Chain A
């Protein structure tokens, strides 16, 4: 935690950048981390917890499984993502975490998915199955 806190100003507006760094480093934001951040920024634990729980990106529980983000917004629906979901869920099983996202900005070439920072478009049952299996 110390190196992360040292990288940022000790003011409330640093809270999101700090939380992003903590999540990237530890995979989730634990109660201990919340306590440490609250002390460093002179906030209450409730204030920090309130921010953690507000944003979809932040997790309060660890989940070490590999993850794939699937866009299920309107444009990807129009291009057939819902028909692919059974195959995606079957390939993922309990081994891979399938996360829903609303829009990756690939609305002209969907259905689209993101793994880490890698983006994938024009998904088919075959290609998305291969992606999930490669995780």
Chain B
């Protein structure tokens, strides 16, 4: 584009319109560049959130910047905020981006950009293959549910494909409520067509005619982008249809059966399983319920083959995981890498330790239901089975870092409180256990019969873990017990108890 006043080509500046960039002031920066006569393209975020708002001019990045930095940058005096070539930044070059291959590079709602970067290749391939071959490709890839449960996606698809029903459904779980996670949001805001393509491939594989994307109401930008993207590519995915549904502030609706009830217009209460949603899901029909990241991984798998995806990773954790570095971390953002990377590499080498500069005391992996892990266990590899063996979970791969000012008894109390606030109320261990848990931890914090009350918490945790219907009540003991076991001194217990 040329500037009509000077006849010179306009400078093109790329700035993200992802919610994290917007929250850091990207709109004001974009407006300043427009005012200075530049052509501004709003693209997805590279995922280097500590550098947002990040402006990219001819491949060179400037960030984090404010509108006040714009004149200097355009005058060639932006060295203080210059990070060099964005694509060559170590945070980017160390990643293995399959799902996030377009991050930072394309305009989220541009069909032109999407097609030019391999978009729709997976769907075309799928349509030429036939349903059984698609399911086999996904099984071969080793892709497991990225929402946290880690169930093999291809097996779930095979079950739905083999089931009989008058209508089958693809439900995308975009109720990303775990603190420390934002990868689903980044996919929906940065590369919405990829998610739609993944859903269309799933629909073709199992014979589904209708799909829903259930997005939490806390994500207005993701909702708007998904609605616009679905409208823009309606013909491309026809006769399959997708509808966006908006949640209403209930964390438990991230649990798949609760989500299905919510889609049906009911209270978001958990359903007992069986029947599996794959056989009797939405409106009692066979339903694929997959997380955003699971479905978003599918186009790459179809266009490159299941074996190519399975080349990444270790053991039974194959492919890549978009890890989210969050909380008190210096270099927070989205880091996609093959399974097998250690927690220490992610937190210290890549994340740069804490943002506060103080020592790391604990990291919580997997959201509010994930265990707190001390630095002594930072050699733990990112692998579903290795984490399970350490009484921890990968969950949705959010890593929330805390420095040494955190009080673990307070975090254990918060875990119980969160469970009490968000419990759907259907089963007793979760509904009542969480409230009794708060009261008991309060007594521990007040110094009342500490050893007895800790025993009571252990007992309660067992009941919640084995007696709850879903992961909310069942996994709340993970943060609680890990806090007690690794930091007994924060509960007024002697340190030596940790070894027992």
Contact = CB atoms under 8 A, between A and B. Distances in A.
Interface of A: 11-17, 19-20, 41, 50-51, 54-58, 69, 71, 73-79, 101-110, 112, 114, 117-122
Which of A104, A117, A118 counts the most chain B CB atoms within 10 A?
A104
Contacts of B368: 73-74, 102
B176 interface: yes
A109 B264 contact: no
Given A74-B411, A108-B49, A120-B23, A17 B327 contact: no
Interface string B174-194: 001111111011000000000
A120 B248 CA distance: 21
B325 A108 contact: yes
B246 A102 contact: no
Interface in B246-301: 246-251, 262-269, 283
B402 interface: yes
Contacts, number: 154
Contacts of B402: 78
B414 interface: yes
Contacts of B262: 16
Interface string B445-461: 00000000000000000
Interface string B20-60: 10111000000000000000000000000110100000000
12 contacts: A51-B265, A54-B267, A73-B368, A74-B364, A75-B398, A78-B328, A102-B418, A105-B19, A105-B181, A106-B182, A108-B333, A121-B20
B341 interface: no
A117 B223 CA distance: 11
Nearest to A78: B327
B218 A107 contact: no
B400 interface: yes
A16 B180 contact: no
Given A14-B265, A55-B250, A108 B179 contact: no
B310 to A, nearest CB: 30
Which of B249, B265, B269, B329 counts the most chain A CB atoms within 10 A?
B265
Interface in B225-249: 245-249
B437 to A, nearest CB: 17
Given A16-B265, A117-B221, A119-B22, A107 B324 contact: yes
A78 B264 CA distance: 36
Given A50-B267, A102-B177, A107 B182 contact: yes
A75 B263 contact: no
B475 to A, nearest CB: 14
B371 to A, nearest CB: 12
B463 interface: no
Nearest to A71: B179
A73 B176 CA distance: 13
Interface of B: 19-20, 22-24, 49-50, 52, 176-182, 184-185, 217-221, 245-251, 262-269, 283, 324-329, 332-333, 355, 364, 368, 398, 400-403, 406, 411, 414, 418, 421-422, 424
Contact of A74 (B182, B250, B263, B414): B414
Q: A interface, by DSSP: helix, strand, loop or mixed? A: mixed
A41 B265 CA distance: 11
Contact of A56 (B19, B52, B248): B248
A73 B415 CA distance: 10
A117 B364 contact: no
Contacts of A12: 264-266
B24 A109 contact: yes
A119 B250 contact: no
Contact of A103 (B218, B247, B268, B403): B218
A14 B246 CA distance: 11
A92 B315 CA distance: 53
Contacts of B249: 55-57, 101
Contacts of B219: 105
A106 B266 CA distance: 29
B196 to A, nearest CB: 20
A105 B332 contact: no
Contacts of B266: 12, 15, 51
Nearest to B253: A55
A13 B219 CA distance: 21
B268 A54 contact: yes
A108 B24 CA distance: 11
A101 B400 CA distance: 17
A122 B22 CA distance: 12
B180 to A, nearest CB: 5
Contacts of A119: 19, 22-23, 221
A109 B18 CA distance: 13
A74 B180 contact: yes
A109 to B, nearest CB: 5
The 8 A-B residue pairs with the shortest CB-CB distance in the complex, in nearest-first order: A108-B332, A15-B265, A73-B179, A55-B248, A56-B249, A107-B326, A78-B327, A121-B23
A14 B185 CA distance: 24
Contacts of B329: 108
A15 B20 CA distance: 31
Given A105-B181, A105-B218, A112-B23, A13 B263 contact: yes
Contact of B182 (A50, A57, A105): A105
A105 B185 contact: yes
